Structure 1
Amino acid sequence: MIPQGGAGNVLFQQVRQPSKTYQLDPFQQRMIGVVDGLEAVKQAVYKILQTERFKHTIYGSDYGCEFNSIVGKSASYVKAELGRRIQEALVQDDRILSVDNVNITVSGDSVLAEFTVVSLFGNFESTKEV
């Protein structure tokens, strides 16, 4: 006997959840309120780029960046890899559509990545130094 009924002909609609989260103050190391929209995405970018992937078991394997493995490598290798790794880490967040205009500058032992984050709530400039 084949069951009758069910949800075979029902159309499902995907509903976007709010991006509201606690606002963090990295200097005083405490929560200072609540943010939503573009400010929440900016905070997410900051947190993702500060978290080393696979280091903390509280985060899934798709959260964070892999920067430790490029430290000490040649400048040309780091310059080629850094932009890709930043983009790979950030687009895991479904609010971030793309990472554009990546500019990598090598200065001695440090590397500075400047880029534009394109999100559902707007675009903003960000940087990461390794």
Structure 2
Amino acid sequence: MSILPETTVTVDEIINQVIADNITSPTTTPREYAWDFENNDFLLKDGKFIIVEGKEALKIWIWKALHTMRMKYSIYSDDYGHDLDSLIGKGFSSGLIESEARRFVWKCISVNSHITDMQNFSTTYDGDTLTINFTVLTDQGEVEISGLQY
């Protein structure tokens, strides 16, 4: 009797299974760890992470993606994150900044297969601060994003 398994699994089979398990399709329910937006940290219950699903998970994913500069952290793919920092200090007109901010936000969030559209996009300025508000349409329902500041 051997302690080794009798079936042979190749590295290619393992890699293909991991890839298949990690592909997010619109038929899967989005899941994220609960997030405390005020304190910018995970929410814990009895010292353990809380998992949320659906619209709340998408809100967290959107918030995190829009708080991560694209191509700055090697842990993320080149598609994850935003390019909004490229608008700072350039002296662009408010119309151009709003147009580019809309484009950059859509580029950032549209990589998520659950997100279908973005509406009610608006920007306001207070000194050097750009504040962005918009509604995200998803297969889980509408998600309101307000008060994003850059």
Aligned residue for 2:42?
Answer: 30
Aligned residue for 1:84?
Answer: 103
Deviation by residue 1:13-54 (Cα, 9 ceiling, x = unmatched): x88223122223351623420100010000001101000000
3-state DSSP of counterpart to 1:16: coil
Moved more, 84-93 or 74-83: 74-83
| Contact kept? 2:116, 2:137, Cα under 8 Å | yes
**Unaligned residue ranges in structure 1 (runs of 5+):** 1-13
Aligned residue for 1:120?
Answer: 139
* In structure 2, distance between residues paired with 1:111 and 1:58: 27
Aligned residue for 1:40?
Answer: 57
| Contact kept? 1:75, 1:106, Cα under 8 Å | no
User: Is the alpha carbon distance of 1:79 and 1:24 closer, same or farther for their aligned partners in structure 2, counting shifts above 3 Å?
Assistant: same
Aligned residue for 1:60?
Answer: 77
User: Is the alpha carbon distance of 1:107 and 1:46 closer, same or farther for their aligned partners in structure 2, counting shifts above 3 Å?
Assistant: same
Q: Please provide the CA RMSD for this pair.
A: 1.8
Give every structure 1 segment of 4 or more consecutive aligned residues whose post-TM-superposition deviation is greater than 3 Å: none
Confirm whether residue 102 of structure 1 aligns to residue 146 of structure 2: no
User: Is the alpha carbon distance of 1:87 and 1:28 closer, same or farther for their aligned partners in structure 2, counting shifts above 3 Å?
Assistant: closer
User: Is the alpha carbon distance of 1:79 and 1:20 closer, same or farther for their aligned partners in structure 2, counting shifts above 3 Å?
Assistant: closer
| Contact kept? 2:133, 2:145, Cα under 8 Å | yes
- Give the aligned length: 117
| Contact kept? 2:33, 2:42, Cα under 8 Å | no
* In structure 1, distance between residues paired with 2:108 and 2:42: 25
* In structure 2, distance between residues paired with 1:54 and 1:28: 21
3-state DSSP of counterpart to 2:79: coil
User: Is the alpha carbon distance of 1:82 and 1:35 closer, same or farther for their aligned partners in structure 2, counting shifts above 3 Å?
Assistant: same
**Unaligned residue ranges in structure 2 (runs of 5+):** 1-24, 45-49
* In structure 2, distance between residues paired with 1:101 and 1:129: 17
Q: Percent identity?
A: 28
Q: State the one-letter code of the partner of 1:125.
A: E
Instruction: Please give the TM-score of this superposition, normalised by the length of structure 2.
Output: 0.70
3-state DSSP of counterpart to 2:99: helix
